[in-house]
Amino acid sequence: MIYLDNAATTWPKPPQVLRAAAGVMAQPFGNPGRGGHKAALRAGRVADACREAVADLLGGAPERVIFTLNCTDALNLAIRGLLHRGDHVLVTHDAHNAVMRPLAGLEDRGEITLSVLRADEKGLLSPESISEAVGPATSLCILTHASNVTGTVQPVAELIAAAHGYGIPVLLDAAQSAGTLDLKTTGADLLAMPGHKGLLGPMGTGVLYVGEQVSPRPLREGGTGSASESVHQPDILPDRYESGTLQLPAIAGLLQGVRFVRTHGAEIHEYETYLFDRLRSRLSAMPEVTVYGAGDTPHVGVLSFNLRGRECAEVADLLDQRGFCLRGGLHCAPCMHRWLGTQGTVRASVGPFSTEAEIDSLGDAIGQILQEK
C-alpha cells in the first residue's frame, strides 16, 4: 500500500510516537491533574511536557497551549468562543468547513455577517483584500495558512499585520502547515493546529494556542482537577478550556511527534516540497491531466489534479485498486472548489516518510489509467 493522504492524517508515525501512546496504557498512568498519587503525577508530567514542547515549537507560553480533540475542535472553540451577536467576520475562499460550518451556523441564525476576502488569480490574498472588506463591526479575521486542496501557502505575516492595523485579531488555521510556523513570524492571535497531521501525533489530538490579546468563552465546562471547591469554571489557563479527562495516550504520542518535528522540521518541509514539485512536474507533462494551484507560489506537500473526462471519485477508486491511498472529492472545502471552478479533485499529499519511488509509481499508475481509457 502506498499512503498519500497525509493531509487527512499522517502515516506512518515515528516509532517513538507509537511506543509512548502504548506505554501510557501498558503502565500505571493515572488521570492527569486528578489526585496526588504517583500515577496521577506521572500522567500530569506527560501532559505538561507535551504542552511545553508545543509552546517551545510555537515560541509561546505553555499555559496558553490548549489541548483539543483535533483542529476542528480548536477552531470551534476560537470561533464560537469569541464571536458575539452583531459581529462581522473576514474569511477566505480557501477556508475548510471546520471554519465555514461554525460561521455559517451563526450567520444562519442572524448572529453574525461574513465577508470573503478577494484572492488574486493564483489564489493569494493581499493586505488590500483586508482593507477592502473591513467594516465597523469586524471583530475577527480567519485565515487558512495552507490550502488543503492546492497546498498554496498564504503570506500570513503581511495579512495579519494588515488586520492588526485595524485592531482586528486573527485566528490562523494551520491544519496543513503545523510544524512549519511559529507565533512570532506569523503574528497570529489564535493558532489552531491538528496534532495528528504535520505534528505526527495520534488522531484525537489538536491544539488551540490562545494569545494574550484574546479570551474566548469556554465551550465545555466541568471538572478540571483545580479549584474544586467552586462550582464555577476556573479562569486560569489551560484549565478554563480543558474540562474532563485528557486523551493522555494520544498526548504522550503527540509529545514524541512534536519532538521529532522540532528536530527535523526544516528538512521535512523542504523534502515534502521537493516531492510535491516532482509530482507536479510529472503530472503537468501529461496533457490530459489538470493540476490545480499555481506552481510558483509557496506551498506545502498537498497537490490536487483531475484527469480529463473522468470523475475524481472514479480516479481515486482506480488508484485505490492499484494500492494507492489518495482522496477524491471536495476535501471539506466547498468554497475553494467554487473558486477553482471544480466539482472535486483527486488529492495526493505527502508526509516525511513518503519516497521518490512512491511518487514516481503514482505518476506511472496515472499514465496507465489514462491509456486504459
Ligand X SMILES: Cc1ncc(COP(=O)(O)O)c(C=O)c1O
The Cα–Cα gap between 368 and 373 comes to 9
Helix axes 248-284, 356-372, angle to 10 degrees: 50
Going by the DSSP 8-state scheme, the letter that residue 234 receives in this structure is P
Q: In terms of CB distance, is 95 or 168 closer to ligand X?
A: 95
Of 77 and 365, which has the nearer Cβ to ligand X?
77
Kindly state the smallest distance separating residue 150's Cβ from ligand X, in Å: 11
Among 10, 72, 180, 345, the residue binding ligand X under the rule CB under 6 A is 72
Report if residue 304 touches ligand X, rule: CB under 6 A: no
Contact flag: residue 148 with ligand X (CB under 6 A): yes
Q: What cell was used for 306? A: 483531475
* Percent helix / strand / coil, the chain, rounded to 5: 40, 15, 40
In terms of CB distance, is 133 or 178 closer to ligand X? 178
Give the residue with the Cβ less far from ligand X, 94 or 239: 94
Confirm if 246 and 220 have CB atoms less than 8 A apart. Answer: no
Q: Shortest Cβ distance from residue 254 to ligand X (Å)?
A: 12
Which among 60, 57, 78 has a CA at the least distance from the CA of 68? 78
Under 8 Å between Cβ of 194 and 214: no
Cβ-proximal residues to 27 (8 Å cutoff; 6+ apart), any chain = none
Question: Which of 262, 156, 144 lies closest to 201, judged by CA?
Answer: 262
Instruction: Tell me which of 71, 79, 207, 303 binds ligand X, using CB under 6 A.
Output: 71
Q: Which stretch binds ligand X (CB under 6 A): 59-67, 70-78, 226-234, 351-359?
A: 70-78
Host H or E run for residue 76? helix 71-82
Strands (E), the chain: 2-3, 65-68, 87-91, 112-116, 138-144, 170-173, 190-194, 206-210, 289-291, 302-307, 324-325, 327-329, 345-349
**Closer of 70 and 224 to ligand X (Cβ):** 70
Choice between 72 and 273, CB closer to ligand X? 72
Interface pick for ligand X out of 40, 47, 51, 70 (rule CB under 6 A): 70
| Region near ligand X per CB under 6 A, out of 117-125, 168-176, 263-271, 321-329 | 168-176
Is 96 a binding residue for ligand X by CB under 6 A? The answer is yes
Count CB neighbours of 62 within 10 A.
16
Q: Least Å distance between CB 309 and ligand X?
A: 28
Beta-strand relationship, 170-173 and 138-144: parallel
- Number of shown-chain residues binding ligand X (CB under 6 A): 14
Q: Which of 173, 239, 272, 358 binds ligand X (CB under 6 A)?
A: 173
Residues numbered 209-268 forming contacts with ligand X, rule: CB under 6 A: none
330 binding ligand X? (CB under 6 A): no
How many helices (H) and strands (E) in the chain?
11, 13
Q: Does 98 bind ligand X (CB under 6 A)?
A: yes
Residue 137 contacts residue 81 (beta carbons within 8 Å): no
By the rule CB under 6 A, 144 interacts with ligand X = yes
Q: Pick the piece of the chain touching ligand X (CB under 6 A) from 39-47, 65-73, 109-117, 130-138.
A: 65-73
**Binding flags for ligand X, 174-213, as an x/- string (CB under 6 A):** -xx-----------------x-----------x-------
Question: Please, which residue, 95 or 362, has the CB nearer to ligand X?
Answer: 95
- Residues of the shown chain interacting with ligand X in the complex, contacts defined by CB under 6 A: 7-8, 70-72, 96, 98, 144, 148, 173, 175-176, 194, 206
